[in-house]
Amino acid sequence: MEPNSQETEKFLAMAARSHSITPAKPIEKKPPPPEQSTAMKRAVLFFNSILLAVGSCGGPLITRLYFVHGGNCVWLSSWLQSGGCPIIFIPLIISYIFRRRAASRSGNSTKMIFVKLRLFLSAAAIGLIIGFDNYLYTYGIARLPVSTSALIIACQLAFTAAFAYLLVNQRFTRYSIMAIVLMTTGAAVLASHTSGDLPAGVSNKQYRAGFLTTLSAAFLYGMILPLVELTYEKSKQQITYTLVLEIQLILSVFATILSTVGMLINNNFQEIGREAAEFGLGETKYYVVLVMNAVIWQSFFLGAVGVIFSSSSLFSGVLIAVMLPATEILGVIFLKEKFHAEKGVSLVLNLCGFVCYLVGEIKNDQTKTLELQTTA
């Protein structure tokens, strides 16, 4: 028994020494997420909101300007809504240069293209839908004043909300529901006075056809925004802003392909020279209008997908809807359209709806912050 007791004492002594020599490793705490990422995300959201606002207000105005002064090619005008996509190569090249410099410092390589086949095919399919939607919208705005065609932008919010709920399980709060109701009511108020907005040279039949096509375009684009968000979620890739730019390029390219086919079938390319010579503002300004058309609409689509990336498809729809009153006022100023009392009521309802949505988002952010602090 004695030898065993000695061996036990030796073993205990060795264990005590090893325990004193090898201290326990402290539990490594993960660093909190950097505040810069949140600030950067907000900056990207703000930048894309500005792009979306410029496109939402300027797009309908420049398109209507084309038709008011003698333009007649619907497929050409719809082509311009996506034909400015080469502009996207500028931020893509800048992004690649910065990524390449950062990678060279660390001795790593960087990719030139991030989009994979699955995401490419999804974006291509949505791009074809956008091309058809552009045609429907352009067909309508060729026969309606801006003050009436802007109605589709507000109606689009209700469609966006419905598809966001069905496709991406968008959660609604009492604030977002109230915002949708207010903005949709503003659109209904506008619809009550459209009978007095019949443009010169447009028959009642053409007016009704234009009204139906613009509503169809609103329905279709209300589906497109959640589809883009769903594509982000199902892509099985990390969605970065560079990838968003690549997606927008694909969307625009395939929308342009569809419009190009329509132009070829209807011989619109041959009509450009004749339209330029007969354009009411002059031949030079005709081409300026075409170029600005492409640039402004590209701003709209790039802003829309950027807002979806930074926030949600519903918020993108809200921003589009809240620009409706500004579009109305600009149509009155630059295109000499009438400003009825109904448009003033619509202005107030849309602004109230937007403020309501922002209040809901602020309260939602505060709730998330409290939850994170509680679980930390």
Convert the pLDDT of each residue in 86-119 to its tens digit: 999 999 999 899 888 888 887 777 888 999 999 9
Max mean pLDDT among 56-65, 147-156, 307-316, 321-330 falls in 56-65
Q: For residue 294, tell me if it sits in a domain.
A: yes
Q: With bands split at pLDDT 50, 70 and 90, how would you rate the model's confidence at 26?
A: very low
Contact present, 311 and 295 (Cβ < 8 Å): no
Number of domains observed in the structure of the chain: 1
CA-based max dimension of the chain: 118
Strands (E), the chain: none
Contact present, 161 and 180 (Cβ < 8 Å): yes
User: Alpha-carbon distance 317 to 155, whole Å?
Assistant: 10
User: Alpha-carbon distance 137 to 141, whole Å?
Assistant: 6
Residues for the chain: how many in total?
Answer: 376
Q: For residue 20, tell me if it sits in a domain.
A: no
Residues ≥6 apart with Cβ < 8 Å to 170: 161, 164, 226, 312, 313, 314
Q: With bands split at pLDDT 50, 70 and 90, how would you rate the model's confidence at 36?
A: very low
Residue keyed to tokens 């894309």? 48
Contact present, 92 and 246 (Cβ < 8 Å): yes
Share of the chain above pLDDT 90, in %: 38
Q: Read out DSSP for 79-111?
A: HHHHHTGGGGHHHHHHHHHHHHHHHHHHT----
Q: For residue 267, tell me if it sits in a domain.
A: yes
Statement: residue 257 has pLDDT above 60:
yes
User: Alpha-carbon distance 123 to 253, whole Å?
Assistant: 10
- Average the pLDDT over 20-32 and give the result: 41
Domain extent for 334: 59-104+120-146+191-341
The tokens of 221 are what?
């684009």
Q: For residue 297, tell me if it sits in a domain.
A: yes
Q: For residue 353, tell me if it sits in a domain.
A: no
User: Alpha-carbon distance 117 to 119, whole Å?
Assistant: 6
The tokens of 354 are what?
């937007």
Q: For residue 365, tell me if it sits in a domain.
A: no
pLDDT for 361 equals 73
Contact present, 232 and 309 (Cβ < 8 Å): yes
The tokens of 208 are what?
């009704």
User: Alpha-carbon distance 106 to 272, whole Å?
Assistant: 52
Query: In this structure, what DSSP letter does residue 55 have?
Result: H
pLDDT for 25 equals 42
pLDDT for 202 equals 78
Q: For residue 351, tell me if it sits in a domain.
A: no
User: Alpha-carbon distance 56 to 51, whole Å?
Assistant: 9
Q: For residue 223, tell me if it sits in a domain.
A: yes
